[in-house]
Amino acid sequence: MGNSNAALGLRNVFILLIVFQVLRFVNIKIQKQEFVAPSRGSNVDVFDNRKINYIDYISFLVYLATYLILTIKI
């Protein structure tokens, strides 16, 4: 056990929720569609049955980078 604060994990959850909602809002404004996460080996979304485009990939990479940065900073 380290000497870290237990609230850091909760802080990361709040930040990731805010990033997700911002990306969702941006995707709705730009594409008029919901934010989707690309799946491995497929170019079609599982739930909406639509083709995933470059904006979806960029949004996913931004979210993944935020997650990795928050994980490394702890």
* Euclidean distance between CA atoms 30 and 2, whole angstroms: 44
Residue 2 in any domain: the answer is no
Query: Terminal CA-to-CA distance of the chain, rounded, Å?
Result: 13
Q: How many domains does the chain have?
A: 1
pTM, to two decimals: 0.76
* Enclosing domain of residue 52: 7-73
pLDDT tens string 11-65: 888 999 999 999 999 989 998 888 787 777 778 877 778 888 888 889 989 999 9
* Residues 6 or more apart in contact with residue 63 via CB below 8 angstroms: 16, 19, 20, 23, 37
The DSSP output letter for 38 is P
